[in-house]
Structure 1
């Protein structure tokens, strides 16, 4: 395994003088393998971005462990050589007073100060993310589209010895045609052995891109497995609710059917997740109020 999260929890202090606590993520465990796209799916406030920030070392873990290539994550220059993140709002990653390709210069200063072939490497990276160097170099952020800015950030990551990309809602601010271009780019990158954690609230995009899916609700995993199994045979009511809420061209709005059977307790499970079939795990439907608990 390349990236492994083991029982990861994040607790924030809230309220006046931090007298109370809020668990944003509770006991989350999953992994991302080389050359694999894993979708982390859930509604707003489910803890998706908090997990991404912990992986990137931007937020400390309260308990549990995150390891990369068998070693506990230690944010720093060596770690960021292999692990990078791209976020929802591409414009927020650029200083508007500097040209957009300054992001390449920063990478050169930190990691490749003596690289005489740097300009050629930049052009190759831009071409690999389907950008014309002549159209994007020496331009200010406001002169480029959101899709171009996102692809510039991915090209920047490729100039490192990148193994894992954390893509946090990177298509949510893009139009439909640009969105599919960025998704196809991520699909191409995984063929090079790049692992991608694709964080999204959009099930259709997760289904399009990922081999495996992790469904998050209120900071906990409620269902996980191969994307075809999770989407084709959803076992948890929350997953079914999310799927029923996906707009369909051939049907009007449909309410999610109520599900009374808790497959977790009906199976006699006692751990955090029950393996309903090989590689397909599901949590209790209504903890702590499940009548079967």
Structure 2
């Protein structure tokens, strides 16, 4: 369905754009229908940049992103099938418009011929699908709703379209623990209906909870990817191990992660700098910046 092939993104910097910084380098992975892929990395690793390129908000410098074997081309028809939800749900709403406006815009853009009574029933059904009571959210301003309600409103909006892929960028980071689980369970339910999800997060525990496959990003490059139970159960790259060791455990004293200098995959990287260490489990050299 969605495929990234050797994708690189450079941003021009400096007073006259004479210099550039590489935010994403040679990234390749896929998302298939009915699958959640977790894109994990620390802040500044390039996760959101990848999400924005998939959504057509930033152009690709080199490489390609395709959806159903066609190049990504931002536009009304593309957004009928791919939607994004971001970290701050409040920024996705105009504070002077009520929640109804979000759904009215979808109707105007995609379904102008649908009669109002039929559209109202579609909206109500979509809200019930995300466990919202239409009577309690429609007619409300964004500031009258919680962050969890707003995130589910955005998911309901996406469901009104014929979406195949949802790009979920840190969508639970501003929610409390109980609401966070509700939203994650909702994504899992949508996955069971055949929706593909790219779940962008820096929270390893949530990625482990939700995703079948995991892609670990460091400084814009993929250092490890594969089935989630393998990546988390037997992390091969030192960076992945450091990320896992940094997860707080209530029953253990805090201990700094110990860097690992040696790498058994040094100078053995395959295509895109990744070696298939075991079936479906890929890892990069720990000395990626100097490995040739």
TM-score category, normalised to shorter length: over 0.9
Aligned counterpart, 1:110: 109
Worse-superposed segment, 268-277 or 61-70: 268-277
**Aligned match of 2:54:** 55
Separation in 2, partners of 1:265, 1:216: 18
Conserved in 1, the CA contact under 8 Å of 2:23 and 2:219?
Answer: yes
Q: Any conservation in 1 of the 2:242–2:259 contact (CA below 8 Å)?
A: no
Partner of 1:161: 162
Q: Which runs of 4+ in 1 moved over 6 A?
A: none
Distance in 2, matches of 1:219 and 1:39, equals 15
Who is 2:235 aligned against?
Answer: 234
Check the 8 A contact 2:269/2:284 in 1, yes or no: no
Q: Does the 8 Å contact 2:36/2:213 carry over to 1? A: yes
Aligned to 2:95: 96
- Give the Å deviation of 1:289: 4.3
If the length of structure 2 is used for normalisation, what is the TM-score? 0.97
Greater mean alpha carbon deviation, residues 14-23 or residues 141-150: 14-23
- What's the counterpart of residue 284 of structure 1? 285
The answer to whether the 8 A contact 2:266-2:287 is kept is no
> Partner residue of 1:207?
208
Query: 2:126 corresponds to which residue?
Result: 125
Q: Per the alignment, in what secondary structure is the counterpart of residue 265 of structure 1?
A: coil
Cα distance in 2 between the residues matched to 1:114 and 1:253:
60
Aligned to 2:250: 249
Give secondary structure in 2 for the equivalent of 1:18.
Answer: coil
8 A Cα contact 2:100 2:139, kept in partner: yes
The whole-number CA distance in structure 1 between the counterparts of 2:183 and 2:142 is 18
Alignment of 1:180-191 (within 5 A): 180-191=181-192
CA apart distance, 1:257: 2.8
Q: CA deviation at 1:139?
A: 0.2
Alpha carbons 2:8, 2:60 under 8 Å: kept: yes
TM-aligned CA deviation for residue 261 of structure 1 = 2.7
Aligned residue in 1 for 2:16: 17
Structure 2 equivalent of residue 30 of structure 1: 29
3-state SS in 2 of match to 1:263: coil
Contact 1:8 1:29 in 2 (8 A): yes
How far apart, in 1, do the equivalents of 2:160 and 2:47 lie? 27
Unaligned runs of 5+ in 1: none
CA RMSD of aligned residues (A): 1.1
Q: Give 3-state SS (helix, strand or coil) of 2:108's partner.
A: helix
TM-score, normalising length from structure 1? 0.96
Deviation at 1:288, TM superposition (A): 2.9
Q: Does 1:39 align with 2:41?
A: no
The within-5 A match list for 1:169-180 is 169-180=170-181
Q: For 2:188 and 2:288, how far apart are their aligned partners in 1?
A: 36
User: 1: distance between equivalents of 2:222 and 2:165?
Assistant: 21
Alignment-derived partner of residue 64 in structure 1: 63
Aligned to 2:82: 83
